[in-house]
């Protein structure tokens, strides 16, 4: 097992394995607590682990008024029987008992660290999203709780300091890459310390982006700007947002996952050559029911809502809390092809982004995309906007594979031969292997071809605002 860099902490107690206070385990809660301990030990090197426990416990009790019920049920801090300083005293007494081994224990394998060591009872009072008491079916041998090492239980005590509030529940972000998980915890701990320093902290840090999808992509933006290795190269992490509450009778947890291929696509979109097109596209799709009719102003970077001859301005810090269907769809593995098509009817949008999306997310062959691009260039070769309009209308009207095939025969294959071109615009191999292979979805070919045609027209500067090429019911917030 790889040796970790020694923990920068006074190592007062011989019963504690200090490496296991921070070593990654794969458990999101234990890892977050470990990263918080690692950060705080660097911030306060004069404190040993019991003093750090005392430090965060006093914050939980004195600053947050014991409001950590979303993590622990009937803990020394949250149970009503203990008041004020007694919550702190009882908490410290418990952890001293773990360290001095006066608490009830048995030898076994820790369910989080996997080590054979002394184990202590774990339940909803001292661990997150576990069963205890009547919920014995959570455990293989119907134990009354989960058996954990003292190091795991200590780590979990720091979890509230490493999480954020989101929509009335708790959010924790974990990545397949340790550095990203650490970055989230570091930002959260720093936010907590900053707000405590200002006297503004009254509970777990609140996320500035109150939607799970917005929070994930907002965090990716931070990671790309602060950790160079994730902005380029071959590092392709996945991200998981745990959205949970361990509160009372209604404990629940939801997972939101950003897979590595979606991370790669998003990262590519944020590169300098694509970011202007991509960010205008994404920001124009923010939506809020209380601001219906608001339009994104690409010059000011703000939303504007006209009300009774007055214009309400919505700043980025506010509209970035709104629903964004593009982020939602990327997170839920839903296709954004139709959204891109609607956008392309009026806006230039680099076709390379579409190409990358189709290859990385949808799995379309690059030869198919190249053939579609070639067909689009052929369809607008005359630079005649009236002809282009008729072809777009015909292509829009294709309602099944047969109609799409007839369109290609009439508008591409036949004219290509009539013009005396030596090479076929669509060969048999193109047709069979790339445009209409077994299992392909004809509407996808139609939509990508439409997007490519629009982008050809934008590049040739043939589209203008007064052209009516947009079907009904395809409005966006712009």
Q: Is 174 helix (H, G, I), strand (E, B) or coil?
A: strand
Find, among 453, 277, 300, the residue nearest to 348 by Cα. 277
Q: Which of these, 232, 474, 240, 238, lies nearest to 344 by C-alpha position?
A: 474
Backbone torsions φ then ψ of 108, nearest 5 degrees: 180, -165
Q: What is the pLDDT of residue 475?
A: 47
SS (HEC) of 259-297: CHHHHHHHHHHCCHHHHHHHHHHHHCCCECHHHCCCEEE
**What's the first-to-final CA gap in the chain, in angstroms?**
55
pLDDT of amino acid 422: 85
DSSP secondary structure code for residue 87 in this structure = H
The pLDDT, as a whole number, for residue 130 is 79
Tell which residue, 35, 30, 34, 40, has the closest CA to residue 10: 40
Tokens 């002394």 belong to residue: 118
Structure confidence at residue 315 (pLDDT) = 96
Q: By the 8 A CB rule, do 149 and 15 touch?
A: no
Mean pLDDT by 10 residues, the chain (478 residues): 69 93 95 97 94 97 94 91 92 96 92 94 87 64 81 98 95 95 96 94 91 96 87 84 89 93 94 95 96 94 90 94 96 95 94 96 95 96 90 94 95 93 91 89 95 95 69 52
In this prediction, residue 471 carries a pLDDT of 63
Please report where in the chains the tokens 């615009």 appear, as a residue. Answer: 425
């Amino acid at each position: 097992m790889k040796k970790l860099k020694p923990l920068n902490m006074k190592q007062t107690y011989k019963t504690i394995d200090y490496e296991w206070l921070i070593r990654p385990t794969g458990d999101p809660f234990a890892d977050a607590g470990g990263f918080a301990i690692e950060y705080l030990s660097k911030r306060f090197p004069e404190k040993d682990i019991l003093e750090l426990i005392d430090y965060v416990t006093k914050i939980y009790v004195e600053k947050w008024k014991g409001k950590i019920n979303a993590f622990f049920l009937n803990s020394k801090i949250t149970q009503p029987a203990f008041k004020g300083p007694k919550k702190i005293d009882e908490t410290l007494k418990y952890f001293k008992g773990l360290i001095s081994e006066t608490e009830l224990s048995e030898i076994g394998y820790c369910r989080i660290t996997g080590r054979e060591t002394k184990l202590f009872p774990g339940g909803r009072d001292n661990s997150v999203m576990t069963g205890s008491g009547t919920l014995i079916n959570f455990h293989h041998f119907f134990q009354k709780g989960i058996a954990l090492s003292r190091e795991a239980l200590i780590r979990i005590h720091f979890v509230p300091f490493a999480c954020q509030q989101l929509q009335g529940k708790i959010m924790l972000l974990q990545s397949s890459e340790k550095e990203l998980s650490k970055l989230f915890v570091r930002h959260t701990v720093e936010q907590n310390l900053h707000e405590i320093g200002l006297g503004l902290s009254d509970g777990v840090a609140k996320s500035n982006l109150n939607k799970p999808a917005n929070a994930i992509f907002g965090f990716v933006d931070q990671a790309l700007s602060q950790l160079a290795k994730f902005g380029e190269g071959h590092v392709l992490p996945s991200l998981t947002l745990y959205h949970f509450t361990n509160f009372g009778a209604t404990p629940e947890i939801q997972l939101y996952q950003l897979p590595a291929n979606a991370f790669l696509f998003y990262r590519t979109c944020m590169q300098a050559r694509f970011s202007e097109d991509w960010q205008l596209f994404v920001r124009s799709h923010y939506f809020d029911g209380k601001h219906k009719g608001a339009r994104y102003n690409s010059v000011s970077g703000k939303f504007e809502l006209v009300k009774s001859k007055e214009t309400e301005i919505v700043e980025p810090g506010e509209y970035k809390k709104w629903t964004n269907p593009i982020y939602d769809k990327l997170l839920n593995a839903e296709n954004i092809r139709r959204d891109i098509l609607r956008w392309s009817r009026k806006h230039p949008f680099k076709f390379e982004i579409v190409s990358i999306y189709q290859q990385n997310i949808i799995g379309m062959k690059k030869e198919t995309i190249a053939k579609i691009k070639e067909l689009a260039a052929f369809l607008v070769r005359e630079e005649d906007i009236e002809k282009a309009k008729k072809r777009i209308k015909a292509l829009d009207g294709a309602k099944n594979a047969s109609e799409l095939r007839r369109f290609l025969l009439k508008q591409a294959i036949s004219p290509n031969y009539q013009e005396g071109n030596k090479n076929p615009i669509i060969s048999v191999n193109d047709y069979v292997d790339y445009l209409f292979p077994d299992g392909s979805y004809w509407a996808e070919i139609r939509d990508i071809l439409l997007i490519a045609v629009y982008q050809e027209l934008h590049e040739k500067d043939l589209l203008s605002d007064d052209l009516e090429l947009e079907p009904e019911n395809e409005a966006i917030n712009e």
